[in-house]
Structure 1
Amino acid sequence: MAAQSTAIRRIKLGSQGLEVSAQGLGCMGMSAFYGSPKPVPDMIALIRHAISSGVTFLDTSDIYGPFTNEILLGKALTEGWREKAELATKFGVRFIDGTAELCGKPAYVRAACEGSLKRLGVDSIDLYYQHRIDTSVPIEITMGELKKLVEEGKIKYIGLSEASASTIRRAHAVHPITAIQLEWSLWTRDSEKEIIPTCRELGIGIVVYSPLGRGFLSYGPQVVESFSEQDHRKEMPRFQAENVEKNAEIFERLKEMASRKGCTPGQLALAWVHHQGDDVCPIPGTTKIENFNDNVRALSLKLAPEEMAELESYASEDAVKGARQNDGLSNWMTSDTPPLSSWKWE
């Protein structure tokens, strides 16, 4: 059964021709980071339900598992399903002896792409992101190899995730960037000052991960009670007890407004992201069909300018307690790369 009877609108992502559903499906939590992997048959059913519902933009990465999430999508996209979907995956983070390492060297870029193609069981990847920026390699070097992969037909469009404005500009000068993936939600708005305007100036689409605040904007403080020992949110600053208690006030105000609007808090938070513009595509993740259906309904929720302003007042920068990620993790603020002139070919 489809999530709703009305067709899900389509948007142009970037300026190079990629068209996707206005809302995507983040697939990470099906296999990694949010607890134990979920049963493969159930996740295949969810992915196919999403596509049938009109949510055709699927997001994965080779590091999810690692590798198992791409294998899952490969199984879900057999029997004619591949042609109905826009498939995005990522490279750039690898585990060496259990430690995460960033790599943007050309040989690795090519090997990672070949591995993803094989696991996904496809001839071409629609959108291929550099997952995190390797700050030891000039971005022009990484982009040069990605450009070759486009010319060979192995990938169709290029994206970057958690990239600074200067990195985006340098990359875009080598080959047009179709999408920037970043974290954006009511309680995470650090990209609005510089990254979002840069994307819009250059005609780059914006793909939003964690639009529901990793579950907090859907469920509030009680989401913490559902975390298993393997859930990486347990270590995140915003989910520590002292910050959860203070952030609960944001959720309570969100919940009160949702009650007035006749929707759920999660739908309201997701609608806020949708109202940022037609160049924005959130990719909320879920492992349950009923939650997926709830998320889809956010597409039909209308917010007036004064309601947008009210929502933003709930989660002002000084109201949100705790950083969005742990110290030391790569993000757009730490993604500048050395000048091209510094590169020495190995």
Structure 2
Amino acid sequence: MISRRDYLKLCVATGVALGTKSVPSLAANADKQLALITRAIPASGQRLPAVGLGSSATFAEVAGSEDVAAVREVLQALIAHGGRVFDTAPSYGASEAVAGRVAAELGITDQVFWATKLNVAGWGGGRADPAAARAQLETSFQRLGKPVLDLIQVHNLGDVPTQLGLLKELRADGRVRYIGVTTTFPRQYAELEQILAREPVNFIGIDYAIDNRTMEERILPLAQDRGVGVLVYAPFGRTRLWERVRGHAVPEWAAEFDAHSWAQFFLKFVLSHPAVTVATPATSKARHMIDNLGGALGVLPDADMRRRMIALVEDL
């Protein structure tokens, strides 16, 4: 656990803007202990911190520029402040390679829950060459420096019969612990639902945010019923939600569920759905990583509070 006082000190030390009008009210409760929110992987019961780190977008940009200092700082912040899950993909530029190398230099390779992806078919419905897919997988193992990876998913439903078949082989051989599929494209949601209903996947990776709740209708309930873990990408709507709240302060009542920044507000909404295992927003800045991890501290909003949160965002 971390006390609210210590958390506030961390935020100040790293330059995190809490975006709240009510700092004195936080100070009044500064010694309240904030428990780290973890979620169990349905397939095994293994518990993971509910906020991790994605490596698309700005992370991929700094990795591609070989800005190793920024990558080092954000990975250090992930581990030092209670996170574990790092989500990447070969298609995220240099992210996979640079993160694997930096983690090895820091000596944290074994502390990270490595989630990567497979897709040599492309996103247009092409067929995957099995030899090329196997080569991509071996490259991921080499980059991340582990003989057994935690999670590999078929990226954006690329030739699922071929590529998920290869992942099943890896899981049977003990080279990967969990397998799954991902998509953030609405046109693929129906296919995702079909795969989730029939395939023995351990995880799915999806887009879900307070202003993007389509997954609540069928996919998230089905994942719960099937005992499948859920990684949430784009919990901030990429940049969409930041534009929406620009110039607006976080409401004082958000402190009731220990949210003191917009990042924590958005993350706690996502995590309050019981089907969600981990949210993995991408960032290349340590101060944002620490702020994001604050979304996995304390309590989560209940159903009434979720409705209040939605109404607030819809009115902005």
Question: Considering the TM-score relative to the shorter chain, is it more than 0.5?
Answer: yes
- When the two chains are superposed, the root-mean-square deviation of aligned CA atoms in Å is 3.2
Is residue 55 of structure 2 the alignment partner of residue 27 of structure 1? yes
Distance 2:154 2:210 in 1: 25
1:189 corresponds to 2:213: yes
The equivalent of 1:237 in structure 2 is: none
Partner letter of residue 47 of structure 1? L
- 1:258 touches 1:268 (CA, 8 Å); kept in 2? no
1:186-244, Cα deviation, whole Å (9 max, x unpaired)? 11112121211211110101111111121343xx33xxxxxxxxxxxxxxxxxxxxxxx
**How many angstroms does 1:14 deviate by?**
2.9
Kept after mapping to 2: 8 A contact 1:59/1:88: yes
How do 1:58-77 residues align onto structure 2 when only pairs under 5 Å count?
Answer: 58-65=86-93, 68-77=94-103
Query: Is the Cα contact below 8 Å between 2:164 and 2:180 reproduced in 1?
Result: no
Q: Is the 8 A contact 1:207 1:281 kept in 2?
A: yes
Deviations 1:119-166 (A, max 9, x none): 2222121100111113xx4x3433222111112232221011016455
How far apart, in 1, do the equivalents of 2:133 and 2:268 lie? Answer: 36
Matched, 1:289 2:316: no
Pairwise CA distance, 1:286: 1.4
Number of residues of Structure 1 aligned to a counterpart in Structure 2: 278
On the 8 A contact 1:24/1:55 being kept in 2, the answer is yes
Mapped to 2, the partners of 1:304 and 1:36 lie a distance apart of 40
8 Å Cα contact 2:59-2:284 kept in structure 1: no
Alignment gaps of 5+ in structure 2: 1-5, 12-32
2: distance between equivalents of 1:44 and 1:104? 34
Equivalent residue in structure 2 for 1:144, among 140, 165, 170: 165
Alpha-carbon distance in structure 2 between the residues aligned to 1:9 and 1:289: 20
Partners of 2:226 and 2:125 in 1: CA distance: 30
Amino acid corresponding to residue 258 of structure 1 in structure 2: P
- Shift of the 297–167 alpha-carbon distance from structure 1 to 2, 3 Å rule, reads closer
2:254 corresponds in structure 1 to 261
What amino acid does structure 2 have at the position aligned with 1:69? S
Residue 105 of structure 1: CA displacement?
4.4
Helix, strand or coil: the match of 1:153? coil
Secondary structure of 2:72's counterpart equals helix
For residue 303 of structure 2, what is the aligned residue in structure 1?
A: 305
Deviations 1:226-265 (A, max 9, x none): xxxxxxxxxxxxxxxxxxxxxx4xx279x45534435222
- Kept after mapping to 2: 8 A contact 1:209/1:282: yes
Identify the residue that residue 3 of structure 2 maps to in structure 1. Answer: none
Compute the displacement of 1:90 (Å): 0.8
Amino acid at match of 2:234: S
Aligned counterpart in structure 2 of residue 45 of structure 1, from 61, 64, 73: 73
Letter in 2 for 1:297: G
The CA deviation string for residues 67-99 of structure 1, in whole angstroms up to 9 with x for no partner, is x1111111122153111111000121577xxx9
> Post-superposition shift, 1:275?
1.1
Q: Given that residues 109 and 145 in structure 2 are in contact (C-alpha distance below 8 angstroms), is that contact kept between their aligned partners in structure 1?
A: no
Residue 150 of structure 1 aligns to a residue whose secondary structure is helix
Q: Distance in 2 between matches of 1:186 and 1:268?
A: 9
What is the CA distance between 1:36 and its match in structure 2?
6.8
Question: Are residue 110 (structure 1) and residue 134 (structure 2) matched?
Answer: yes
1:313 positional shift: 2.4
Equivalent-residue separation in structure 1 for 2:154 and 2:195 (angstroms)? 14
The counterpart of 2:230, out of the listed 203, 206, 222, is: 206
Structure 1 unaligned segments of length 5 or more: list them: 222-247, 321-346
SS in 2 for 1:8: coil
- Range with greater deviation from structure 2 (207-216 or 29-38): 29-38
What secondary structure sits across from 1:303 in the alignment? coil
Aligned to 1:224: none
Contact kept, 8 Å, 2:271 with 2:300, in 1: the verdict is: no
CA distance in 2, matches of 1:64, 1:92: 12
Residues 281 and 103 (structure 1 numbering): CA distance in 2 closer, same or farther, change over 3 Å? farther
Q: Name the aligned partner's letter for residue 305 of structure 1.
A: A
Write the letter of the residue equivalent to 1:178: N
Structure 2 residue aligned with 1:122:
146
Are the aligned partners of 2:51 and 2:85 in contact in 1 as well (CA < 8 Å)?
Answer: yes
Amino acid across the alignment from 1:89:
T
Which residue of the partner structure matches residue 21 of structure 2? none
2:52·2:83 contact (CA, 8 Å) conserved in 1?
A: yes
Cα distance in structure 1, aligned partners of 2:89 and 2:64:
17
Distance between the aligned counterparts of 1:102 and 1:34, measured in 2?
30
Partners of 1:280 and 1:177 in 2: CA distance = 14
| TM-score (structure 1 length as normaliser) | 0.70
